[in-house]
Amino acid sequence: MSNRIVGLILLLTILTQVNNNAFSQVNDDDLYIFGFSQIIFNHRQLDSNIYPNTLFPAGYSISSKTSTFALHQVNLFFQKSINNKTTFFLNFEASGSYSSRLPSGEFEIPEGWISFKLNENLLLKTGLLLPKFNNLTEIKNRLPLFPYIIRPIVYETLFSNIFKPEDYKPQNAYVQLSGSNNVFKNYIFDYAFYIGNAENSFLSSIRSNELGAEEENTTLYRGENLNTALLFGGRIGIENFISTKKMGVSFTFDEDNKTKTENSVFRLPQLTTPVLGEVARYRLGVDLSFTIKNFSFESEYMGAFHDHSKIRKKEAFRTAKLNKYFFYGNLTYDFSEKLYAFGYYSTNKDYTYEFVAPNSPSRAGINIISLGGGWRINEVTAFKLQLLRSSLNKNEYLEYNFNMLTVGISTIF
Amino acid sequence: MKTFSLFCFVFILTSVTEPSLLEAQYSEESISIVVHESIETDAINIAQLKAFYTLNTLNWKDGNRIRLADYKGDNYLRIRFYSKLDLTPSKIKKIWLRAQFTGKSIPPNVVNSVAEMIEAVTDLPGTIGYVPTSRVSPDMRILFEISNDL
């Protein structure tokens, strides 16, 4: 027997025998520290063909293949129960093989809040927090909770450089009041209302030299919200905790930052939007999830609707429309306690570039189909495999196919 | 091919859920859901029990936090208990993980044996657990009983 085989057997044995420390005894008064990491390897192939047209007279093709390892994400959580009614929670997150030396990846503190239990049914959270919007926003960075590795596009941090998640959903809030009431047998009505800053692109970034003279004079510190418009949002939902059915409606109101020219998601250099200012925006979300025997289904819809009345007063922007839509549905089947398979589909459409380039790629829509499975090696470690195919609907500018195979190991500690 | 077959063999071996033999002796017995006798609460029904274990009810009537205790692994007691709640160990783990990762609750107290469960319930204030009915001690209060007719 070769050394490689012995090594493989040893690795499997160790992984399946490792103690489950994630669920070990915890006293209420202790500072509780826990976290998770996910390591991935992916191989991806991109084939893109830009057709000759008025914006790109020559047209061109791009084809690339890459293989890479990455420390997809590491999160470290600190939780401290101050008393029966008060809890402190802190989350450190590093993604994309974070290194300040290289530099690569990103590091952030996405959450740091304190919660007060006002009564049995009402909870007040203050601090930097992930608000309740649909089912996934609150847990978007908790990778071990997901059957897949690569999350739906608006949730995946690896794509955040080319795709702005805040175009579809709120990123954070600072005060949230949430509660739940038993309305009738086994059914809980839950609700949350929150307030926070407008989208992150309004935050000042003194070192980036992106500030105008007026902004530079008024900015006190890096990361300050330079907009008086705040985010208001909430979610109301109903859940049957016996049969694990859940649905809800979410909403937000804030302003979309269109104060700078913007490139399209496909980085087509000639395809940009002009400065439109700050545009009032309403986001709507609907989520539905349920479990029937070994099947678990979850789905989400998001729509970002803009008040175009102000920008359409200018003749050049008369047909401007900035709305965006996203849908996602995932079905997981558990073969056993340890083995599962999943498949998800997502699609999103963005009308932002339609008035500067009719039948734009983002208006046509991006479709993603993903299939995969996982093996829960023990209570804290899971091996995951995922195939993902992304393509564009037919449009005048671009044909685009993206295929990715990803394997990963997720560990809770 | 040989390597692949060996890999599959080890994979299947490690994937099979083997209930703990330690608890197999209790497979014919009813299960009692117990708390320390000092906890002032009435008997509960199955929906309330599920609300406790799915973390929809987090506090006792006196405001103190409910501490859940559970067994490690996939032993007979655990599988029967969650089956009565229409859950599986993996489903309950997902619910607890979500609660843990969102700061709603800390994980349950995980024990390795019935003896450790008895110790957790009797020593740690506010703990709720489940034991074979024959192991219920005088300093425990039974809130609910799951018969063995599953």
Q: How many other C-beta atoms can be found within 10 angstroms of the C-beta atom of residue A58?
A: 6
Instruction: Report CA-CA distances (Å) from B49 to A117, B45, B57.
Output: 22, 6, 9
First-to-last C-alpha distance (Å) of chain A: 33
CB contact under 8 A, B103 and A89: yes
HEC profile of chain A: CCHHHHHHHHHHHHHHHCCCHHHCCCCCCCEEEEEEEEEEEEEEEEEEEECCCCCCCCCEEEEEEEEEEEEEEEEEEEEEEEECCEEEEEEEEEEEEEECCCCEEEEEEEEEEEEEEEECCEEEEEEEECCCCCCCHHHCCCHHHCCCCCCCCCCCHHHCCCCCHHHCCCCCEEEEEEEEEEEECCEEEEEEEEEEECCHHHECCHHHCCCCHHHHHHCCCCCCECCCCEEEEEEEEEEECCCCEEEEEEEEEEEEEECCCEECCCCCCCCEECCCEEEEEEEEEEEEEEEECCEEEEEEEEEEEECCCCHHHCHHHCCCCCCEEEEEEEEEEECCCCEEEEEEEEEEEECCCCCCCCCCHHHHCEEEEEEEEEEECCCCEEEEEEEEEEEECCCCCEEEEEEEEEEEEEEEC
R_g over Cα of chain B? 17
Query: Virtual CA dihedral for A339, A345, A350, A351, nearest 10 degrees?
Result: -170
Amino acid A215: pLDDT:
63
Amino acid A329: pLDDT:
97
CA distance A163 to A403: 17
B15 vs A28 pLDDT, higher one? A28
Please report where in the chains the tokens 């402190």 appear, as a residue. Answer: A88
Amino acid A379: pLDDT:
83
Q: Which of A79, A145, A185 sits opposite B103 (nearest CB)?
A: A79
Amino acid A258: pLDDT:
85
Please, what is the average pLDDT of chain A? Answer: 86
CB contact under 8 A, A23 and B59: no
Residues of chain B with C-beta less than 8 angstroms from the C-beta of A375: 11, 15
Q: Which of A20, A26, A180 sits opposite B106 (nearest CB)?
A: A26
Amino acid B51: pLDDT:
87
Mean pLDDT, residues A98-102: 89
We report the CATH number of the domain holding residue B86 as: 3.40.190.10
Q: And the tokens for A305?
A: 């609707």
- The alpha helices in chain B, defined as continuous H runs, are 2-15, 21-24, 46-53, 76-84, 89-101, 114-123
Residues of chain B with C-beta less than 8 angstroms from the C-beta of A238: none
Q: How does DSSP classify residue B135?
A: G
Task: Please write the tens of the pLDDT for every residue from A220-269.
Answer: 777 777 778 899 999 999 998 777 799 999 999 999 988 877 766 665 66
Whether residue B7 is predicted with pLDDT greater than 90 in this model: the reply is: no
- Domain extent, residue B123, equals 21-146
Mean pLDDT, residues A345-371: 89
Whether residue A216 is predicted with pLDDT greater than 70 in this model: the reply is: no
The phi and psi torsions of A149 (rounded to 5 degrees) equal -100, -55
Least Cα separation, residue A277 to chain B (angstroms): 36
pLDDT band with cut points at 50, 70 and 90 for residue A211:
low
Listed residue (A272, A280, A278) closest to A258, CA to CA: A278
Mean pLDDT, residues A83-108: 91
First-to-last C-alpha distance (Å) of chain B: 44
CB contact under 8 A, A22 and B6: no
Which residues lie below 8 Å from residue B12, measured CB to CB, with a gap of 6+?
A: none
Q: And the tokens for A291?
A: 């479990």
Q: How many CB pairs under 8 A join A and B?
A: 98
CB contact under 8 A, A379 and B93: yes
Residue A134, by phi and psi: left (phi above 0), alpha (psi -120 to 50) or beta?
A: left
Residues of chain B with C-beta less than 8 angstroms from the C-beta of A16: 14
Select the residue from A1, A241, A411 to test the B interface by mutation, using most B Cβ atoms within 10 A.
A241
Residues of chain A with C-beta less than 8 angstroms from the C-beta of B68: none
Q: And the tokens for A75?
A: 């999160």
Does B113 reach chain A within 8 Å, measured CB to CB? no
pLDDT band with cut points at 50, 70 and 90 for residue B17:
very low
Which residues lie below 8 Å from residue A43, measured CB to CB, with a gap of 6+?
A: A65, A66, A67, A404, A405
Range A31-412 has CATH code 2.40.160.10: yes
Percentage of the residues of chain B whose pLDDT score is greater than 90: 19
Amino acid A59: pLDDT:
79
Q: Which of B50, B65, B91 sits opposite A28 (nearest CB)?
A: B65
Amino acid A374: pLDDT:
97
Q: And the tokens for A51?
A: 């057709």
- With respect to residue B35, please indicate whether it lies within any of the assigned structural domains: yes
Please report where in the chains the tokens 């997720």 appear, as a residue. Answer: A410
Q: Which of B70, B86, B96 sits opposite A242 (nearest CB)?
A: B86
- With respect to residue B75, please indicate whether it lies within any of the assigned structural domains: yes
CA distance A285 to A300: 7
Least Cα separation, residue A49 to chain B (angstroms): 40
Residues of chain A with C-beta less than 8 angstroms from the C-beta of B121: none
Task: Please write the tens of the pLDDT for every residue from B54-93.
Answer: 888 888 888 788 899 999 877 788 888 988 888 888 888 8
CB contact under 8 A, B100 and A34: yes
Is residue A165 reached through a cis peptide bond, with omega within 30 degrees of 0 on the bond before it?
no
Least Cα separation, residue A5 to chain B (angstroms): 7
A13 vs A393 pLDDT, higher one? A393
Whether residue A341 is predicted with pLDDT greater than 70 in this model: the reply is: yes
Listed residue (B127, B103, B69) closest to A117, CA to CA: B103
Q: And the tokens for A42?
A: 């992916």
CA distance B127 to B141: 11
Least Cα separation, residue A236 to chain B (angstroms): 17
CB contact under 8 A, A338 and B15: yes
CA distance B32 to B47: 15
pTM of the full structure: 0.84
User: What sign has the CA pseudo-torsion A383, A370, A326, A250?
Assistant: negative
Q: Are B98 and B49 in contact (CB under 8 A)?
A: no
Q: How does DSSP classify residue B134?
A: G
Percentage of the residues of chain A whose pLDDT score is greater than 70: 87
Q: Which of A131-140, A295-304, B47-56 has the lowest mean pLDDT?
A: B47-56
Q: And the tokens for B147?
A: 């018969």
Does B5 reach chain A within 8 Å, measured CB to CB? no
Q: Which of A5, A8, A23 sits opposite B107 (nearest CB)?
A: A23
Q: Burial, A51: exposed, middle or buried (Cβ in 10 Å; 0-12, 13-18, 19+)?
A: middle
Amino acid A201: pLDDT:
80
CA distance A389 to A375: 22
Residues of chain B with C-beta less than 8 angstroms from the C-beta of A294: none
CA distance A300 to A286: 6
Least Cα separation, residue B90 to chain A (angstroms): 6
Q: Burial, A100: exposed, middle or buried (Cβ in 10 Å; 0-12, 13-18, 19+)?
A: exposed
Amino acid A325: pLDDT:
96
Q: Which of A109-113, A232-236, B10-14, B38-42 has the lowest mean pLDDT?
A: B10-14
- Give the domain ranges of chain A: 31-412
Amino acid A16: pLDDT:
47
pLDDT band with cut points at 50, 70 and 90 for residue A20:
very low
pLDDT band with cut points at 50, 70 and 90 for residue A19:
very low
Listed residue (A169, A171, A175) closest to A113, CA to CA: A175
Least Cα separation, residue A70 to chain B (angstroms): 23
CB contact under 8 A, A185 and B47: yes
Residues of chain B with C-beta less than 8 angstroms from the C-beta of A113: 103
Amino acid B68: pLDDT:
92
Task: Please write the tens of the pLDDT for every residue from A319-332.
Answer: 889 999 999 999 99
Amino acid B32: pLDDT:
92
Task: Please write the tens of the pLDDT for every residue from B115-140.
Answer: 999 999 998 888 999 999 999 988 89
Cα A334 from chain centroid? 24
Number of compact structural domains in chain B: 1
Q: Which of A2, A22, A188 sits opposite B107 (nearest CB)?
A: A22
